[in-house]
Structure 1
Amino acid sequence: MENIIEKKCSFLKSVFNFNELPNNNLKEIAFWGRSNTGKSSLLNSIIKDNIAKTSKNPGRTQCLNFFEVPNKIRLVDLPGYGYSKVSKSKIKNWNKLIIEYISKRENLTSIFLLIDSRHGLKTIDLEAINILESFGNHFFVVLTKIDKINKTQLNKCSKTTKNFLSTVTSAEDEVLVTSSKKKLGIKELKKRIINIIN
């Protein structure tokens, strides 16, 4: 089943307005997080086709990008939050679209919230978690870029994150740890996606 994601997933469309969303009942999993936490890179690791555009510059994703495994699942790359080097009006439009999608999209089954393991939970991440909690969105926290820190730092970050999530009812207690560069934790992440499909 994991191979289906790799072999069959392809780019579907970019969405700039809520009324442009795909109109069938396929389940959707969204990837969200601070700018430059590696959302697009993680998607490419899952899909294995480099179809999600990546950039070293934060704020590269400026719309909702949909990738689809026909008749199975859609993966959605959301714009990152916390990026200040764009106009306030553009940020306002991003935020409006994201909130509409998170709060109103019936297809949205789960969200993978990406946290840079080098920095851990920041205030803006806690705000994002509060948003997800307020709308009752089921979500996983995924620590990214674990190849950039040592084992002691990772254990500390994981423990702190788990302790916080124990107070959040819509979050999974499990914290997933990944590295797109080293392909660490990708298989476990795919298993969670397959479980959601089934």
Structure 2
Amino acid sequence: MTFVNYIKSAVFPKDFPQTKLSEIAFAGRSNAGKSSLINSLVNSKIANVSKTPGKTRLLSFFNYNEEFMLVDMPGYGYAARSDSEVDSWREMVEGYLNHSKNLRAIILVMDIRRDWNSEEEQMKMYTDHLGIPLILALTKADKLSRSQQMQRIEKIKKSAQLKSIFVCSSLKKTGLEDLKEHLIKKVI
């Protein structure tokens, strides 16, 4: 039997859960589908989902079967945020990335219809610097035809230069098993 439970939300490293469980963080642009992907992967509506960008403002920690933690990170790139909010977001995310002793991978969640840009490249460079594997999950694949998906995948592959890329749809439940299998075999 599988269980997933919400542990807590936090901003500062001193408030992060103190466990020995491996952590997998979900990062990406606002409204890319991070919370929906978490919910689909664990088959539970544990992470809050909103159609409004920028709703997740804290790091949210979820315990999966006492095996590992999933961390839902706030999205970046939301235009309606003030400079001080952007700075606070950056401090919170960098605080987590720099202080987590159990972070095993970051899943960079990206809407398949968007281009790889400077924010994604910065995340890639940052995770490379920290030695943390970066896994790209292209979401909302159901919004495109199969041929459009293939075109987008090729374009993103050229820009991202990542080994681990998964195409997912939380709505159609596609690509989720491949991503889960990769996480279990390579990360946890």
TM-score (norm 2): 0.92
CA distance in 2, matches of 1:109, 1:188: 18
1:197, CA displacement in angstroms?
Answer: 6.1
The answer as to 2:58 corresponding to 1:68 is no
Q: How many residues end up aligned between the 2 structures?
A: 188
1:54, CA displacement in angstroms?
Answer: 0.5
Q: Does structure 2 retain, via aligned residues, the 8 Å contact 1:161–1:175?
A: no
Give 2:177's aligned amino acid.
K
Query: 5+ residue gaps in structure 1?
Result: none
Query: Which residue number corresponds to residue 154 of structure 1?
Result: 149
The answer as to 2:104 corresponding to 1:109 is yes
The answer as to 2:83 corresponding to 1:93 is no
Distance 1:24 1:174, change over 3 A: closer
Query: Which residue number corresponds to residue 177 of structure 2?
Result: 187
Residues 103-162 of structure 1 show CA distances to partners (whole Å, capped at 9, x for unaligned) of 231100001001110113123222222222222221111100001112222112212222
CA distance in 2, matches of 1:102, 1:160: 28
Q: Which aligned segments of 4 or more residues in structure 1 are displaced greater than 4 angstroms?
A: none
Query: 5+ residue gaps in structure 2?
Result: none
1:70, CA displacement in angstroms?
Answer: 4.3
Question: What's the secondary structure of 1:98's corresponding residue?
Answer: helix
The answer as to 2:24 corresponding to 1:34 is no
Question: What's the secondary structure of 1:66's corresponding residue?
Answer: strand
Query: Which residue number corresponds to residue 177 of structure 1?
Result: 167
CA distance in 2, matches of 1:163, 1:48: 32
The correspondence of residues 19-30 of structure 1 with structure 2, limited to 5 A, is: 19-30=14-25
The alignment yields a C-alpha RMSD, in angstroms, of: 1.6
TM-score (norm 1): 0.88
Q: Does structure 2 retain, via aligned residues, the 8 Å contact 1:72–1:197?
A: no
Q: Does structure 1 retain, via aligned residues, the 8 Å contact 2:121–2:160?
A: no
CA distance in 1, matches of 2:160, 2:115: 13
Q: Does structure 2 retain, via aligned residues, the 8 Å contact 1:113–1:139?
A: yes
